[in-house]
Structure 1
Amino acid sequence: MPIRAPVASLLALAASQPMPHWDDALLRRYDKSGPRYTSYPTALAFHERFTPDDTAQALERSNQRGRPLSLYVHVPFCRKICFYCACNKIATKDTSLAEPYLSRLDREMVLAARHLDTSRPVKQLHWGGGTPTFLSLSQMSDLIDRLDARFGLSDDPERDYAIEIDPREADVFTLRHLQSLGFNRLSLGVQDLSPQVQKAINRHQPRVLTETLMDEAHRLGFRSLNLDLIYGLPFQTERSFADTLAQVIELNPARLSVFNYAHMPERFKPQRRIKEDDLPGAEEKLAILRTTIEMLTAAGYVHIGMDHFAKPDDSLTIAQANGTLQRNFQGYSSHAQCDLIGLGVSAISRIDDVYAQNPTSLGDYEAALDEGRLATVKGVRLNKDDLIRADVIERLMCDMRLDLNAIGQRWNIEATDYFAGALDTLRTAEQDGLITWQGATLVATPMGRLLIRHLAMAFDAYLPGHTGARYSRIV
């Protein structure tokens, strides 16, 4: 594929600032499967002995701490299925089918709010899916009104109210409406701008669709725009993805998420439409990853960690510098210390010291609410060791370093002794140049940052029992 002049110049700039100590052989050696640690313990530790009553009790306990609230709403509908997708979704073009779902969401809100002190501010709101912009404008208004009636939404300028948008199903009127509803951050799905790749994944999306929305969003003053890309899709090459990156850099989003495609056709039926022979090989994927990091770094983005990049003045970058960055089920977040209430099919809550998950089946979700009970189908209550390890893993994943003295003071433990086994496990990583020590602080090197999931796995007490689990690959 020929490279246009702007792409070539960006590649040249990136090559002049190569990532230090890049080692393909080392990355291949460590490129195993492992958790993404959007929670600890991971969802594999959730069990069905955890009941709706346990969720209700956690909601009531959370009032004592009075932490702000974060609300996640799962909208599972999509008009068209993308072949790479591993999300919980329902394919339909009939927006009227959303009405009974919105009614169930309201029932869930009512049941949850009964146990909550709703004077607590809602600092974070996130609509994900599926495709939240599948909803009509009036349905979006209705959902916001219900959320406000049950929980009391915020007009604080520092609130973080985000929605995931499919540029194929939104226009400038959609953005104006979302702004009037209080959203101040947008995440647009792009994945790849190559027509050949788009055809292979059943997602025809010319650049102009994304560009028009971004121009309007900037004009309207949305605080932060995120674009989602995926590497490892069929027919992608280092050169073709560099072309996509060059165009994305021109669009100038505040944040970028560049996800590694996990091909699991035995688990996700749409992926069976993707031919494995069309996927880039391991060496090509590493080349794509390296070019991505080099081009985005040269363009002024900070590599937050894993698959997230942000401008230096973005709230994610500032939170990481301040040590307040957090991981949750939507990835990295700048709003720490919130109780997260998940609403909708498959949604997961993190309230006080529990995780609680709703059914992944729409029928089971509806049946639970029709019976007048919270839809929790499984979950887990964290013990003290879970809480300590969750803190350690989150700080390592967010800060790219781990201050054992701070951990010891926070939890009243001798951290070096407590984690002797984990630290012993990490000796090989230290010998391979993935970590260094600065006093009692473990610091991930540039290569270690790419393998941060592997470093976090050393602190996971559940992992040895999950040997048969299917996780995505680390790189």
Structure 2
Amino acid sequence: MPIQASFPSQEPLGLNADLIRKYNQPAPRYTSYPTALKFKPIEDKASRSAMLADIEDAEGPLSLYVHVPYCRSLCWFCGCAKIISTNTALADKYLDYLEMEVRRYANLIRSGRKVVQLHFGGGSPNFLSPAQIGRLDNILRSSFEFDPSAEISVELDPRTLSKSQVLAFRKLGVNRASIGVQDINSKVQEAIHRIQPTETNIKTISWLREAGINSINVDLIYGLPHQTESSFNQTLDEVLGYDPNRLAVFSYAHVPWSKPAQKILERSPLPTADSKIDILIQTVQRLTGSGYAHVGMDHFAKIDDPMVKAQEAKTLQRNFQGYSLHADVEICAFGMSAISQSKNSFRQNQKDLDAYYKMLDEGDIPLEKGYLLTPDDQIRREVIMRLMCDLELDFQARGESNGVDFQNYFSSELDRLQVFEEDGLISFVEGGLEVTPLGRLLIRNVASRFDAYLGDAKQGFSKAI
């Protein structure tokens, strides 16, 4: 019997700080399964051929991702693959090579496959000038056929955005934008090297709406220096006044051993683990009490938003860009460090820009790492992704879609989920399980029970909160 989930704007949350502390352990974010830590260097022709064959054999709709690595200044908290520069002419060379990659990749894809989704990430896509944005549009549309109703989204840095750039992205077809705000407190902004006045945010949102880009997401980060429950509540007050369609509220992961610039943040006091939990609980209560549904890890959307509708229809997807509206699409990713995903493989481009250019000069697809999924990987990938997206599991449906007896196949995993039911993270129901409001905060912990590779080796992953 199918499980029926509901996503009310406000519900009894039952957010127990002690339980959150108990489960505040390292776990993957499951933007992929297996995680990127399992990716291996592609060093032999056989592996490369198998990965490229996966592109040639695939059918169905496409989701494109374009990575624009450039930023004009360094935010000290950032963990993205980026290049800091104020020289916009660098992007001309980057677009030259991106065009090579797009054309080479498109030649491998069967004709008739339409693009239903396109996302520009970075870095800062608005590092590009209006003319460069127009050129990028031509590069993509000359190689791919777009569905007229395709979702086209872009990440924007309000500090360096111009109205002409907004209009150029709108001409390209952008209908959804995500803007990085992080925190409105000036003391916090100084500590993270990101000065961004309120007026800048308001102007950006005004330009977007005037241009007809009406679906707006705001990114916030909790756990930054000087943040307190009170100060972050003021940030929420202001951001709710912007009336965004969605909010992504991320936990800051302090990993200075891999991101050296983060060491600078230690000059200022970072919130304690308990303080971060208090900020998170407050945030969930504020947003779910203000007309937003808690879609899942980090993400909130107005209850009439297409993201919530996709979750109800069980077509929501999770990938390296977070939650996405389209399930069962092949992700074709372009640019330095970009990760493509299809039925049988993950493929990551060179993370070093010179190496990316060199492989394209040699006439190749610029792959550095990849992973070919086993049959067990594919089963677990679907189960983990449906759990992360649907916040429930229908055992019969998942078993039938994978040709297994679900409860026998995952008998040990289901046994290890019992403690989550005892602690109120999930509820076992007839034919499946449902994730509780508390479990939504700790969904990566629940999903990790189905991870065959995790075990006790949790190095490299951030804590759940």
TM-score range, shorter chain: over 0.9
Aligned pairs (5 A) from 1:211-290: 211-275=202-266, 278-290=269-281
SS in 1 for 2:40: coil
Correspondence for 2:379: 388
Cα offset, 1:20, TM superposition: 3.0
**Structure 1 residues 439, 236: closer, same or farther in 2, change over 3 A?**
same
Cα offset, 1:273, TM superposition: 1.1
Which amino acid in 2 is paired with 1:141?
Answer: G
Aligned pairs (5 A) from 1:443-462: 443-462=434-453
Cα offset, 1:56, TM superposition: 1.8
CA distance in 2: counterparts of 1:22 and 1:469, whole angstroms: 27
CA distance in 1: counterparts of 2:72 and 2:268, whole angstroms: 28
For residues 62-104 of structure 1, the C-alpha deviation after alignment (integer angstroms, 9 at most, x for no partner) is 1xxx211111011110110000000000010001111111111
Cα offset, 1:207, TM superposition: 1.1
Q: How many residues align?
A: 453
Cα offset, 1:59, TM superposition: 1.0
SS in 1 for 2:31: coil
Which amino acid in 1 is paired with 2:52?
Answer: A
SS in 2 for 1:159: strand
SS in 2 for 1:183: coil
SS in 1 for 2:64: strand
Task: Judge conservation of contact 1:238–1:291 (CA < 8 Å) in 2.
Answer: yes
Correspondence for 1:42: 35
Cα offset, 1:39, TM superposition: 0.5
Task: Judge conservation of contact 1:301–1:310 (CA < 8 Å) in 2.
Answer: yes
Cα offset, 1:468, TM superposition: 5.3
CA distance in 2: counterparts of 1:295 and 1:257, whole angstroms: 14
Which amino acid in 1 is paired with 2:439?
Answer: G
Using the aligned pairs only, state the percent identity: 43
Q: Which moved more, 1:351-360 or 1:129-138?
A: 351-360
RMSD after superposition: 1.4
Query: After the TM superposition, which parts of structure 1 deviate over 6 Å for at least 4 consecutive aligned residues?
Result: none
CA distance in 2: counterparts of 1:136 and 1:218, whole angstroms: 20
SS in 1 for 2:240: helix
Correspondence for 1:431: 422
For residues 243-293 of structure 1, the C-alpha deviation after alignment (integer angstroms, 9 at most, x for no partner) is 010100000010100000000011002111111761111111111101111
CA distance in 1: counterparts of 2:204 and 2:354, whole angstroms: 35
CA distance in 2: counterparts of 1:135 and 1:439, whole angstroms: 53
Correspondence for 1:61: 57
Cα offset, 1:220, TM superposition: 2.5
Aligned pairs (5 A) from 1:68-79: 68-79=61-72
SS in 1 for 2:367: coil
SS in 2 for 1:153: strand
Correspondence for 1:127: 120
1:340 aligns with 2:336: no
Q: Which moved more, 1:219-228 or 1:158-167?
A: 219-228
Correspondence for 1:152: 145
1:469 aligns with 2:465: no
Task: Judge conservation of contact 1:359–1:375 (CA < 8 Å) in 2.
Answer: yes
- Residue from 27, 35, 54 that aligns with 2:20: 27
**Structure 1 residues 415, 18: closer, same or farther in 2, change over 3 A?**
closer
Flag structure 2 segments of 5+ consecutive residues without an equivalent: 1-9
Task: Judge conservation of contact 2:154–2:176 (CA < 8 Å) in 1.
Answer: yes
TM-score by length of structure 2 reads: 0.95
SS in 2 for 1:150: coil
Which amino acid in 2 is paired with 1:467?
Answer: A
Task: Judge conservation of contact 2:347–2:367 (CA < 8 Å) in 1.
Answer: yes
Which amino acid in 2 is paired with 1:61?
Answer: D
Task: Judge conservation of contact 2:217–2:246 (CA < 8 Å) in 1.
Answer: yes
1:95 aligns with 2:66: no
Cα offset, 1:323, TM superposition: 1.1
Task: Judge conservation of contact 1:56–1:112 (CA < 8 Å) in 2.
Answer: no
Correspondence for 2:103: 110
Correspondence for 1:177: 168
Q: Which moved more, 1:447-456 or 1:17-26?
A: 17-26
For residues 412-449 of structure 1, the C-alpha deviation after alignment (integer angstroms, 9 at most, x for no partner) is 21100100111111121121121111112111111111
CA distance in 1: counterparts of 2:186 and 2:71, whole angstroms: 21
Cα offset, 1:409, TM superposition: 1.4
Q: Which moved more, 1:143-152 or 1:43-52?
A: 43-52
Which amino acid in 2 is paired with 1:25?
Answer: D
Which amino acid in 2 is paired with 1:420?
Answer: S
